[in-house]
Structure 1
Amino acid sequence: MKTTTAAPLVAELERTNLWPHGFWKLMEFRIGIIPLPIYCLLIALIIGFVSTGKVPTDISVSIAILAVGGFTCAEFGKRLPVFKHIGAAAIFATFIPSYLAFSHLLPELVLKNVVEFTKSTNFLYLFIASIIVGSILSMDRTILVQGFLKIFIPLAAGTVVASIVGTLVGTLLGLGTFHTFFYIVVPIMAGGVGEGAIPLSIGYSGILGQAQGDVFAQVLPSVMLGSLTAILLAGGLNFLGKKYPHLTGEGRLQQGEHSDFKMAEEGIPPGTDITHIAAAGVTAISLYMVGLMCFKVFGFPAPVAMLFVAVIFKLSRAVSPQLEQASFVVYKFFSTAVTYPLLFAIGASMTPWDKLVAAFNLANLITIIATVSSLMVTGFFVGRRLKMYPIEAAIVNACHSGQGGTGDVAILTAANRMQLMPFAQISTRIGGAIVVTLSLFALTQLK
C-alpha cells in the first residue's frame, strides 16, 4: 500500500525538480531555432575560440557562427514594436552585420570565417535551389502554368510606370533626367549587383568612355537602397494582408491556387520517410547543376534555367508524389532554419555599409522610394485586374527592385512569402536582364 501511494508522489517531485524537467523547459525556449542553453554554449565557445586567436574554418563552426548571428539579429527585429510587422527581422539580420563589419565591431576572426565560408561554398544557391524546387513541385500544375504566363504582365507594366515616375520625380528634384534614369532608376531594376550593377557599369564605361570602377560606385548605392526600400514595403504589405485577408493568398499568386501537399503541423507528413527527403535534396542540387550547365553552354542564368527544368519535371509528372511531398519538406526546412543565417552571411560578406549610406541624401531617397513604390503599386492593381492576389503580385514586382538573389531572400522573408521564390527569380533575373539590355541600347542611341 505504501508503494502505491508513494509512486504518484515521486512522479510529482520529478516534475517539479529543476533537473531534468526545469532544464527541459529551458531547452524549449529558443532564440530562432536554437534552444537557449545551446545558444549560451555556442556564444561561450565562439568567444573562447576568438580569445585563443584562431577560429576553426570547418563547416560546423561556420554554421554555428551564422546561426547565432542570424537568429540573434532576427530576434531583435521581431521584438520591435510596429517595425516587427514590416520586416524588421530580415532587415536586422542583413544590415546589422553589414554595419558591424564596416565598423570593425565584429571580431576579425569571426568576420574572416563568415566571408570565406560564404564565398567558398556559395550556399546562397543551395538555398535558392531548395526553395525553388520545393515550391514548384508542391504547386498545382494548372495554376503553375497560368501564374508563369500572367506574372509578366504586372511586371512589364510596373517596369514602365516605375521608369516614368522615378525619372520624373528625380528630374523635378534637380537630379537631371539623364542621371536619374541611367544611374538611379535603371540600376534599381537591373537585377542586383552581379547581374545588374556590374554589367551596367561595364556597358556604361565602354559607351561613355569612363572608368568602370567610377561608374560602379555611382550605380551601386541605388541598388542597395532600392532593395532596402523593397524589403520595408514588402513587410508593410504583409501587415496589410493581415488587416485585409481578401487581398492576399498568403503566398499563393492566384485565386484557386493550392499546394498539392501541405506540411502536417506535427512534422513530416505521413508517407514521407527520410530517404525521400534526402532524395529530394539531391534532386534540387541536380537541377541546379543542370542550370549551371545551361549557363556555361548558353549563357542563360543558372537559377532561371533550373526553375524552368523544375517546371518541366512538375508538368510532365517526372517526379513521384512521394518525392514531391519530400521536396516540400526540404523547402520548409530551408525557409525555417537557413533564412536568417543566410541573411547574416549576406550582410557581413556581400553588403557594403558605406555604399548603402552613400545614397542617403534626400533627393536620391525620394526618387528611389518613388520608383520602388510605383513598381509595386502597379503590380498590385494590374495583378488584381488579372484575378491574381494583389499583394502577392506587388511582392513579386518588389523583387524586381531587389539586390539579386540576396534581395529576393530578404524581400520574401520580410513579406513571409518564401513560396513566391520561383516568380521572384523571374522578376529579378529575366526582368533585370531585359532592363540592362534595353538601357544599354538606349544609351548608345543617346550618345
Structure 2
Amino acid sequence: MNLHIGIIPLPVYSVILICLGIFLALGKISGDISIMFALLTVFGFTCAELGARIPGLRQMGGPVIVTIFLPACLVHYKLLPNELVGSINDFWQSTKILYLFIACVIVGSILSVDRRTLITGIVKIFIPLAAGSVLATIAGTLTGLAFGLSAHHTFFYLIIPIMAGGIGEGAIPLTLGYADILDLPQNQLFAQIVPAIVLGNLMAIICASLLNRLGKRRPHYTGQGHLYAADEDSPARPAKAPTVTVEHIATAGMIAISFYILGILVHKLTGLPAPVGMLFLAVLAKLTYAISPKLEDGARTVCNFFSTAVTYPLLFAIGITTTSWNDLMAAFTLANVVTIAVTVFTLTTVGFFVGKWVGLYPIESAIINACHSGMGGIGDVAILTSARRLELMPFAQIATRLGGALTITGAIVLLGLTA
C-alpha cells in the first residue's frame, strides 16, 4: 500500500485495472461517474508515470505531454476500444467537468492569495504580456520569412492563432472574422490554423517544464507559485491558522460553483467569457472581504484537492476528446516548427526579463506569458501542470482570455486594412 501509481496505492490500482479490463471484455463500460473517475484516474496517472520515466522527455514536461498526446495517438490509430473512447466522450460532453475544475482552481487560488499581491499582480502582468506579444510577433514573422514563408501567412496563420486564446474562444471567432473579410469558407480557414495552435501549446508545455527546472536550480528567480513578493508590504498573518472543517471545505466548493454560475450569467448579458467574469467576481469578493478567513482556507483546500487528484485524469480525457493527432502531425514541417518554437520561446523569454524589471518573479511571469500561447482553458491546465504551478490559474486565464480577445480584435482589424 506504500507503493503508488500517482495517488493510487498499487493494490488498489491493480484491482481497478482488473475490473475495468473485465468490463471492457464484456462491453459493459458505463458512463457512471464513479466508474469514469476510476477509469480516467488509472489511465491518467499511468500516462503521467510513463512520461516521468522517459529519459530526455521527462525534463521537458514528459508527464503532461504523454498524458495528453499518447491517448490522442491511440485514438487516431484506433488502438483503444470503441466502448472506452465513446464512454469518455459522452462523459466529457455531458458533465463539462473542465469548467468545474477551472472554477475550483481559479476561485481557490484567488481567495487564498494575499490581497495586495493579487491586485498588484493583475496590474503588472499586462506589461510583460504586451511586450512579449509584440516581440514574439516580430521574431516569429522574421523566422517565417527566413524559412521561405510569406510574412502574411506567417503572421495571420501561424503567430496570431497561437496567441488567440485556444479553439472555442480563439480559433472559431478568429476564422469567422477571416472568412467575412476574405470571402472564404470558415471551415477551410479553421482547419488551416488549428495545427499551429496545437503545436504552440506543445511548445508552451515544454517551456513551462524547463522554467520549473530553472526555478529548482535558481530559487531566487521564483516565488514557487507566488507572482509577486508582497510579504514586506502585507500585514502580518495570524500566528495560528484558523481551523478548517469539512463544512468550510464544502461551503467553499459551493462558493466556487456559484461564482461560475454568475460568470455564465455575465457571459449571457455582456458576452464576456464566463471564466473571466467568474475571475473578476472572485477578485471583487476577495478585495471587499466578502469571504471569511476560514472559507478562504477551505477554498485553498478545494483547489489543492483538484490540483492533486483531478489534473492528470482531466488531461487524459482532454487527450481522448479534444486533442487531434492529425492536427499535431500536420504542423510538423521544419518551417512551422521553428517559427512556432521561436514565437513561443520569445514570448516566454520576454516575460521572464520584463517581469523581473516590473517587480514580478521572473519565472512566474514567464509561465503566464507562455499561457498566452496555450489552447484556452485546456492549454492553461496543461501548461501550469507542467510548471507545477496551478495556483497561477487566475493570472493565466487573464493572459489567455483577455490577451486572446485583444489579439483576435487586432488581427481582424489589420487583415481588413490589408486585404
Alignment TM class, shorter chain as reference: over 0.9
Give deviations 1:62-108, integer Å, cap 9, x for gaps.
11111011100001112233432331111111111111111111111
Where does residue 15 of structure 1 map in the other structure? Answer: none
Q: Are residues 1:242 and 2:216 paired?
A: yes
Give deviations 1:138-166, integer Å, cap 9, x for gaps.
11111111100000010011111111111
1:257 offset after TM fit, Å?
5.0
Q: Report the AA paired with residue 282 of structure 1.
A: M
Where does residue 9 of structure 2 map in the other structure? Answer: 35
Tell whether the 8 Å contact from 1:138 to 1:261 is kept in structure 2 after alignment.
no
Where does residue 300 of structure 2 map in the other structure? Answer: 328
Separation (CA, whole Å) in 2 of partners of 1:84 and 1:177? 35
Give deviations 1:256-302, integer Å, cap 9, x for gaps.
3599999xxxxxx7611101000000000000001000001100000
Match for residue 148 of structure 1 among 122, 132, 151: 122
Match for residue 314 of structure 2 among 342, 348, 351: 342
Where does residue 26 of structure 2 map in the other structure? Answer: 52
Where does residue 416 of structure 2 map in the other structure? Answer: 444
Q: Are residues 1:125 and 2:99 paired?
A: yes
Where does residue 346 of structure 2 map in the other structure? Answer: 374
2:120 counterpart SS class: helix
Where does residue 326 of structure 2 map in the other structure? Answer: 354
Tell whether the 8 Å contact from 1:70 to 1:340 is kept in structure 2 after alignment.
yes
Q: Are residues 1:219 and 2:175 paired?
A: no
Where does residue 89 of structure 1 map in the other structure? Answer: 63
Give deviations 1:177-226, integer Å, cap 9, x for gaps.
10000000000000001111111111111111111111111100000000
CA RMSD of aligned residues (A): 1.5
Separation (CA, whole Å) in 2 of partners of 1:163 and 1:317? 40
Tell whether the 8 Å contact from 2:163 to 2:373 is kept in structure 1 after alignment.
yes
Q: Are residues 1:166 and 2:133 paired?
A: no
Q: Are residues 1:402 and 2:367 paired?
A: no
Give deviations 1:235-260, integer Å, cap 9, x for gaps.
00000111111111111111235999
Q: Report the AA paired with residue 197 of structure 1.
A: A
Q: Report the AA paired with residue 288 of structure 1.
A: Y
Tell whether the 8 Å contact from 2:276 to 2:398 is kept in structure 1 after alignment.
yes
1:397 offset after TM fit, Å?
0.2
Distance 1:418 1:355, change over 3 A: same
Where does residue 9 of structure 1 map in the other structure? Answer: none
Separation (CA, whole Å) in 2 of partners of 1:255 and 1:277? 27
Separation (CA, whole Å) in 1 of partners of 2:55 and 2:326? 27
Tell whether the 8 Å contact from 1:167 to 1:180 is kept in structure 2 after alignment.
yes
Equivalent residues in 2 for 1:270-281, closer than 5 Å: 271-281=243-253
Separation (CA, whole Å) in 2 of partners of 1:343 and 1:257? 34
Tell whether the 8 Å contact from 1:138 to 1:260 is kept in structure 2 after alignment.
no
Tell whether the 8 Å contact from 2:116 to 2:230 is kept in structure 1 after alignment.
no
Tell whether the 8 Å contact from 1:100 to 1:106 is kept in structure 2 after alignment.
yes
Q: Report the AA paired with residue 312 of structure 2.
A: Y
1:338 counterpart SS class: helix
Of stretches 56-65 and 146-155 in structure 1, the one that deviates more from structure 2 is: 56-65
Where does residue 387 of structure 1 map in the other structure? Answer: 359
1:172 offset after TM fit, Å?
1.6
Where does residue 393 of structure 2 map in the other structure? Answer: 421
Q: Are residues 1:307 and 2:279 paired?
A: yes
Sequence identity (%): 53
Tell whether the 8 Å contact from 2:140 to 2:154 is kept in structure 1 after alignment.
yes
Q: Are residues 1:202 and 2:179 paired?
A: no
Q: Report the AA paired with residue 90 of structure 1.
A: V
Separation (CA, whole Å) in 1 of partners of 2:231 and 2:90? 41
Q: Report the AA paired with residue 237 of structure 1.
A: L
Separation (CA, whole Å) in 1 of partners of 2:177 and 2:255? 37
Separation (CA, whole Å) in 2 of partners of 1:417 and 1:316? 26
Match for residue 110 of structure 1 among 76, 79, 84: 84
Where does residue 402 of structure 2 map in the other structure? Answer: 430
Q: Report the AA paired with residue 117 of structure 1.
A: F
Tell whether the 8 Å contact from 1:75 to 1:89 is kept in structure 2 after alignment.
yes
Stretches of structure 2 that go unaligned for 5 or more consecutive residues are: none
Separation (CA, whole Å) in 1 of partners of 2:361 and 2:41? 34
Stretches of structure 1 that go unaligned for 5 or more consecutive residues are: 1-26, 263-268
Separation (CA, whole Å) in 1 of partners of 2:120 and 2:138? 29
Of stretches 38-47 and 185-194 in structure 1, the one that deviates more from structure 2 is: 38-47
Q: Which of 1 and 2 has greater Rg?
A: 1
Distance 1:257 1:400, change over 3 A: farther
Q: Are residues 1:193 and 2:167 paired?
A: yes
Separation (CA, whole Å) in 1 of partners of 2:20 and 2:314? 18
Q: Report the AA paired with residue 166 of structure 2.
A: G
Separation (CA, whole Å) in 1 of partners of 2:230 and 2:117? 8
Give deviations 1:102-129, integer Å, cap 9, x for gaps.
1111111111111111111111110011
